[in-house]
Structure 1
């Protein structure tokens, strides 16, 4: 019989309900969170005891290692069969199909504890499962410490991607004073000091009570140590040895370290340890840390050295574990021997952060490396850091690789290092340096004739050039690389070359460009070239946005996310997120779009090349909402765009500045748009040119038409407001449609424009529209919206109000998507936002509220 659980009935009830639903064929995920010691483990173990023997239980725990084991908790949960083999090999695709098959067997519970320590490969699998769990007869239970999730914690990206009715978030609150009193066996008065010291944290309370001292220990560490000190010295020594192994110690490893593990019985009896057939573990991680933290550094080093020796004697040990203990033991030779392979495995599994950390561990001991070894590790680290969106670290590693290669007599290796450096320089906004490095690599290697290194350099020269709108030069380099690959008889870079070649053609207005890019992307996907696929989707989405093909973006975003949520490519994911938020804003969700874009830029380290995807959109929203920092954001967006040297960022930023000039009556704000016009007078730039001219016309520049631009722009430039408004309505942009209605000069369309501006929160445009109405002799100009109204008590956006109405009509998400001509995923996001704003938990409650609002 397990320990008494207080004030956890609601969580246990939810788990029971979810398990019953899983048994009926509809699965769900339960995310159980709380601070360290909140009782997450106690809840899931109580639940496990209840269901023991009635369901298949797969359980694993994430370890607090220097670099977590790849698929660590899943390897604990599944040790045999094809899935066990796939987990051992690190075969990601086989793991995904295998874990889904495991959960398709009724009825299965997969429990993963301490997900805040999970490796990135495991996080990807959990995200994969959570998105499919509704169709499986299974229950996925994840526990994590929400007080350890910093702003950049990788688990945040997973949690942010999980939503819908089949994902349940349960946070364990601290115990009440009454519950603490019950545990203490006294009253709220006699337990007052205990409650004040523990703030109701169940672990703190139970550990303090178990210490058995006259006074309550001031910290949990004291409480734990008070219990440990009562044990015989050999038992204490055994606990100290186990304490340096994060999370759990397999029984064979425990025997290797301790000999006879029966000496742990006393520690088990007092509740410090739990001994299971497969592993020994401290009852709570905080207890392990408390014991470990009291050990002198010299003792920790020796104890870790023993673990390291034991692990080396075992077959199939994850090298990441070896590296963790090698670092703690100060065994630099072991770190250098094992970290590169551990890093390679992590990166191959998509865990770029872990890979970068492990490469850094080896490079920190560079005195044990030859220059060739160090240079190779620096280059590998640069790519891991790049994909993990650590742009400064990537640049530093690439620069060191070049310096090392320059001292060695190996032109081929130096050329590759220079090409690698070029991409990192470009990512860090050093565009001129990037072009120079890539060009130097080509010039250095060309005299020796065809080679894989020269082909590599040509490809990255082409990549950099197409990103700064030097398409014809880029295509020349890429075509040369393709021809060289054919002559060499092997072309490992072919798909990447074709992706950027397709982009170059697309930017030049060549109709074959989009198809070539899509074909190359499909080829890369079929070949399992994960990094190229991720970057290919970024290019595809960026070009669709650039050319106003908004209706196609949802499908591409969905495809890219589906591919890469099974892997970890933070750089690409941040770019997709930027376009997802810009698309939401275009459709009228300004609050959500702005919040999302600001979140992408809240860390100064992210104001590099990636910002060109987010800053222009954020600046435009700020201009349209009239936020106090609109001009500051415009300045930041323009500075970033100028450094990027790309019309992709320059044009929307200049257009936003010209729009601000129109809203404020300051024609001087159109100077950047005017200066960019000459760069847009060529094929492929028609839409860019039209966008600039559209706002310059509103600042007093004579009208000028542009052949080949989309109808919403062409009609505007012709002065045909009615056709332009209809075109913008088809695009799905309510703000731009309202701008065209305002152009009409007719009272009814202008009144309609005002209603749209007020609904969107476009205060500057609404102010301008009210002035226009007064000029049209409208005597009773509608007032602006109140802070709250009975019709919209939660401040829903126009689109959210529309969806709320459709929920009231009983439509499913798929039916709403068909009605609004958007993706089901977009509707899912809107429905989740509506439920959150209305503070209701089900669609039925939202529909009932919609009916009441309609009746009012």
Structure 2
């Protein structure tokens, strides 16, 4: 007969906690990584695989700090170790895990030598308030406030000499906590703490910032990634043996357990405890084995194991376990007792029993939690719905006494309790706290849950819906599953007949702006139009909605409709008392007018300030100047673009507005491409494309830069794939203006391949949209490519009609970029008509127009066409010389593919291919520099050199030098001739010298 080993009182043998088994290699890997800073250690594994146990084992080897245990945490040779765990909450607490890491550190904040920046920590550490500096001035921009908070936390970590920060279960971390980890990772080379992060890969969403921590690291940082596998059968046997006094287990028993638990340590442990409780194992012939192999049924999941084990405990222990599962995160004894509705003695007895059974554990600071999260989930799910509501109500009432008030936890408890009024109160407070710290996603999730689930009054419904939409507009990745869920919710809310027209308008206004981000342009215009009609009580928001209706980049409306909305917005703006609001509305209106190609915009822009008195004003001005810079690029006013983007950069840097600064960097890269400053642009395009993959518009801007360079260097297949990707996404988003360039580029690639009809097809939809909109300043790239496609297919009349439309659309507009494109189109027509002498002169005019901007790539291509026209006009020697010059220009620029094409043509003509100079600093060659363009523009308005020097803050000698350089490059000998060339280049439009210049 097999021998059982019951205790003397007939109870089954005691089961101890398992020893550390099967992870020696991983433990060594952590030790070695941390010993070689700067380092990030990633510990990956499924639930119950032993991530926490591994980190606990590593932490146990860390020596206590020199000043003794009370300081909190151990130390490595590189400093203190801080550890925290992200709780599995429905709505995670913003920065909660980071704050929890400091729990138990007994230091006086005043003794740490913190700077005034640490005053930002007061809301997170109220218990240290007496020793922290005063709170700094509030920032209106949540992102700037969040960045300041990150810097303050980093300063605290360094002041405490933290060498390693451990964050467990990072898959449950809130977005701001993950952003803080990325912030620390970026600073690791400067001596920040090493990071040890554990997570479950299968619970990381596709847009999680945790993926960025896993994939992109700063230079010099070592990443160690440890993936924990299930235990092997022999390791399972060792684990079971360690729980049963060290005696071996039978092969059959080990194989059975390993098969049923898949080697998951937590499942092995829970199964063994249950089997011992049921007396289903026996000690026989020197080893532990199962009693009856055929009849024993081990629960296949941890849920079944846990529920059956808990059912064997006393009522007090069960009440405590249900309370702890309901609370959902480490909680003190008093809170557990109140949630369980137990007197303190009964609660303590229940805690002791649960701890003795190794179900609960305390953290040494008086906070109790489940040893395994799976067990907590199993218990919570087993509670009857009616009992669960009661438990959550008690939990909420107990937690209400905590300070600072944990609003997100309270919202969760009162939601589950069905206490709508208190749920609404705390959910809105939690959303406010999340927005203040920059975690707009958490705010949206909280408020969307209210809108979709709670029975709300019309006033509550309208307020919460509006705030949810406003929070969604500031999210890092505005278009994802959260976005789509909220949009659906808001549309449902708007169908509520109890809402007044005013309340509906207040929801439609931000909803319309959200739909713009999601590419639903037509729907967005519909929502904003209805909003504008119902916002008479709020003139600022009414003007804002009308300004959005004036943006022409999307939707079916022609330009005059957008212009009428901007005119209505201007009338309202003039009546607004607040200077800050007037500036915001006027600046945004100016940018919208630029997009429409309206000269009026430059009058408004001339009055824009370059700095603000407050943080909010500076951020607003940064955005406005960035938008103006973008519009100036469309017009071809590159010197203006450079000035406004420089202002935007300075203001964004001053306010630490990283996202805005990134957008400005994209436009500066576009400017460098257009003006021929290609050095390092390939590397910048790769960084821009890779840096923000979770924001499609900015990610694709980097792809577009890369595609331009690929086309210029002759990598046509790569360029075609990338331009097609940009075009498809722009069409999906409804961004009409962004379809022009990629469609034109694809058309040019098809023309090179001899596919004129393919070039027409790829430009069909963008051209139709351009004609429908009537915003012809967008046609700089598209129209010349379309004209060439018509000519390639023999349709001269269609090409002539399009050039005529283009000319009429640009009439009265001083947009030198589109006008240079118009000059190129006219030259194409002359060449197609066989008028070679006239074509050569027309291409020369086009080249001068491009050179004035300057846009050297297009200048060289126009000169190349001029050279061919000269040859056709029997001026072969002049044509060959000009063609050779373009080879050098294209080679120096970096357009190697075009240079090779010109070289082949020279060889066909029997001419030598020049050997371009490869050394020294690259200048502008025969192209005008941005500074020379500034001088030329002012000369053409009749300004003297002294007047120009005063306007541009330059010395008269510098102005004279730049004027002479411009005259030499444009091959003119007088100021009058310079003005004539400028007129031919389209710089002054059709109104004559001085018209429309700002």
CA distance in 1, matches of 2:720, 2:355: 53
Structure with the greater alpha carbon radius of gyration: 2
The residue number in structure 1 matching 2:592 is 464
Tell me how far apart the structure 2 counterparts of residues 670 and 249 of structure 1 sit (CA, whole Å): 80
Find the partner of 1:97 among 148, 151, 158.
151
The answer as to whether partners of 1:32 and 1:141 remain within 8 angstroms in 2 is yes
Q: Answer yes or no: is the 8 Å Cα contact 2:625–2:648 preserved in 1.
A: yes
Q: Is contact 1:634-1:657 (8 Å) kept?
A: no
Say which of 146, 149, 161 aligns to 2:201.
Answer: 146
Partner of 1:515: 643
Q: Could you report, residue by residue, the CA deviation over 1:618-649 in whole angstroms, capped at 9, with x for unpaired residues?
A: 996997999xxx99996899599869998998
Question: Partner residue of 2:48?
Answer: 37
1:395 aligns to 2:523 (yes or no): no
Residue 711 of structure 1 pairs with residue 856 of structure 2: yes
> Deviation of residue 360 (structure 1)?
2.8
SS at match of 1:29: strand
Within 2, Cα distance between the matches of 1:173 and 1:632? 56
Tell me whether 1:526 sits opposite 2:654 in the alignment. Answer: yes
CA displacement, residues 17-70 of structure 1 (integer Å, 9 cap, x when unaligned): 122223xxxx21112222333322222111111114243111122233333212
| Most deviating of 572-581 and 59-68 | 572-581
* TM-score of the two chains, using structure 2 as the length reference: 0.61
Q: Does 1:274 align with 2:419?
A: no
Contact 1:174 1:201 in 2 (8 A): yes
Gaps of 5+ in 1: 752-856
Rounded Cα–Cα distance in structure 2 between residues aligned with 1:180 and 1:622: 65
| Structure 2 CA distance for aligned equivalents of residues 538 and 738 of structure 1 | 29
1:415 aligns with 2:523: no
After TM superposition, the structure 1 stretch with the greater mean CA deviation from structure 2, 185-194 or 138-147, is 185-194
What is the Cα deviation at residue 228 of structure 1?
2.3
Structure 2 CA distance, aligned partners of 1:431 and 1:638?
14
Cα pair 2:597 2:776 within 8 Å, conserved:
no
Quickly say closer, same or farther: Cα 1:713–1:596, change in 2 above 3 A.
closer
- Residue 146 (structure 1) shift: 1.0
**Cα offset for 1:147?**
0.9
Determine the structure 2 residue equivalent to 1:380: 470
Alpha carbons of 1:129 and 1:648: their partners in 2 closer, same or farther (altered >3 Å)?
Answer: farther
Match of 2:929 in 1: none
Q: Corresponding residue for 2:505? A: none
Q: What residue is the counterpart of 1:334 in the other structure? A: 422
Distance 2:251 2:794 in 1: 70
| Alpha-carbon distance change, 706 to 245 in structure 1, aligned in 2, over 3 angstroms | farther
CA contact 2:763–2:786 (8 Å) conserved in 1 = no
User: How has the CA–CA distance of structure 1 residues 140 and 535 changed in structure 2, closer, same or farther, with 3 Å as cutoff?
Assistant: same
Conservation of the 8 A alpha-carbon contact between 2:531 and 2:542:
no
Alpha-carbon distance in structure 2 between the residues aligned to 1:296 and 1:218: 23
Q: How far off is 1:111 after superposition?
A: 0.5
The structure 1 residue matched to 2:448, chosen from 352, 355, 360, is 360
Q: Does 1:616 align with 2:749?
A: no
Give, in angstroms, the shift of residue 112 of structure 1: 0.9
Q: Distance in 2 between matches of 1:193 and 1:728?
A: 73
Larger deviation: 711-720 or 572-581?
A: 572-581
Q: Which one of the candidate residues 13, 17, 21 is aligned to 2:28?
A: 13
Task: Provide the aligned C-alpha RMSD in A.
Answer: 5.4
Residues 547 and 569, structure 2, Cα contact 8 Å, conserved in 1: no
Report how far residue 579 of structure 1 moved: 5.8
* CA-to-aligned-CA distance 1:136-158 (integer Å, 9 cap, x gap): 26321111211122323343344
Residues 92 and 172 in structure 2, CA contact (< 8 A), matched pair in contact too: yes
CA shift digits 1:743-777 (9 cap, x unpaired): 555699999xxxxxxxxxxxxxxxxxxxxxxxxxx
After superposition, the C-alpha distances for 1:751-806 in whole angstroms (9 at most, x for unaligned) are: 9xxxxxxxxxxxxxxxxxxxxxxxxxxxxxxxxxxxxxxxxxxxxxxxxxxxxxxx
Distance 1:497-1:712 versus aligned 2 partners, 3 A rule: closer
Tell me, in whole angstroms, the C-alpha distance in 2 between the residues paired with 1:307 and 1:447: 52
| Partners of 2:731 and 2:326 in 1: CA distance | 34
Instruction: Report the Cα distance in structure 1 between the residues aligned to 2:541 and 2:432, rounded to whole angstroms.
Output: 22
605, 625, 641: which one aligns with 1:498: 625
**Following TM superposition, by how much is the alpha carbon of 1:7 offset from its aligned partner in structure 2, in angstroms?**
4.1
Q: Residues 181 and 633 of structure 1: is their aligned pair in 2 closer, same or farther, counting only changes over 3 Å?
A: farther
Shift of 1:116: 1.8
For residues 250-261 of structure 1, the aligned pairs below 5 Å read: 253-254=335-336, 256-258=338-340, 259=344, 260-261=347-348
Aligned pairs for 1:510-589 within 5 A: 511-527=639-655, 532-533=660-661, 535-545=663-673, 547=675, 549-551=677-679, 570=695, 574=699, 578=703
Aligned-partner Cα distance in 2 for 1:618–1:205:
63
**Bigger shift: residues 114-123 or 695-704:** 695-704
Which residue in the other structure is 1:829 paired with? none
Question: Structure 1 residues 67, 492: CA separation in 2 closer, same or farther (over 3 Å shift)?
Answer: same
**2:402 counterpart of 1:314:** yes
Question: How big is each residue's C-alpha offset from its partner over 1:156-188, in whole Å with a ceiling of 9 and x where there is no partner?
Answer: 344343365522222223334443454456577
Report if the CA contact (8 A) 2:730-2:736 is conserved: no
Tell me, in whole angstroms, the C-alpha distance in 1 between the residues paired with 2:259 and 2:727: 39
Give yes or no for contact 1:375–1:401 (8 Å, CA) kept in 2. Answer: no
Is residue 746–residue 759 contact of structure 2 (8 Å, CA) maintained in 1?
no
CA distance in structure 1 between the aligned counterparts of 2:369 and 2:825, rounded to whole angstroms? 65
Tell me the number of residue pairs that the alignment of Structure 1 and Structure 2 aligns.
Answer: 736
Q: Of residues 163, 170, 184 in structure 2, which corresponds to 1:129?
A: 184
Q: Report how far residue 674 of structure 1 moved.
A: 10
Q: Pick from 200, 205, 223: which aligns with 1:167?
A: 223
Shift, 1:352, TM fit:
2.6
CA separation in 2, counterparts of 1:490 and 1:281? Answer: 47
Q: Is it true that 1:230 corresponds to 2:320 in the alignment?
A: no
Residues 1:98 and 1:455: Cα distance change in structure 2 (over 3 Å): closer
What's the offset of the Cα at 1:516?
2.7
1:462–1:496 distance in 2 versus 1, CA, 3 Å: same
Distance 1:530 1:211, change over 3 A: same
Q: What residue is the counterpart of 1:684 in the other structure?
A: 817
Match of 2:326 in 1: 244
Q: Does structure 2 conserve the Cα–Cα contact (< 8 Å) formed by 1:274 and 1:281?
A: yes
1:281 aligns to what SS in structure 2? Answer: strand
Which of 734-743 and 695-704 deviates more? 695-704
Q: 1:850 aligns to what?
A: none
C-alpha distance in structure 2 between counterparts of 1:133 and 1:531, whole Å:
22
Counterparts of 1:769-780 in structure 2 under 5 Å? none
8 A Cα contact 1:86 1:94, kept in partner? yes
Deviation at 1:454, TM superposition (A): 4.9
Give the 3-state SS of the residue equivalent to 1:360 in structure 2: helix
* Distance change >3 Å, CA 308–CA 675, structure 1 → 2: farther
TM-score by length of 1: 0.70
Deviation at 1:115, TM superposition (A): 1.6
Contact 1:712 1:725 in 2 (8 A): no
Distance 1:158 1:184 in 2: 36
Q: Contact 2:428/2:447 (CA < 8 Å) preserved in 1?
A: yes
Deviations 1:340-378 (A, max 9, x none): 443333233332322322343454555263587357525
Which aligned pairs between 1:453-492 and structure 2 lie closer than 5 A? 453-466=581-594, 468-470=595-597, 472-476=599-603
1:202 aligns with 2:265: yes
Change (3 A) 1:490 1:738: closer
Higher mean displacement: 642-651 or 320-329 = 642-651
CA displacement at 1:389 relative to structure 2: 3.9
- Report the counterpart of residue 48 of structure 1 in structure 2: 59
Cα gap change, 1:201 to 1:608, in 2 (>3 Å):
farther
Q: Structure 1 residues 386-395 or 319-328, which shifts more?
A: 386-395
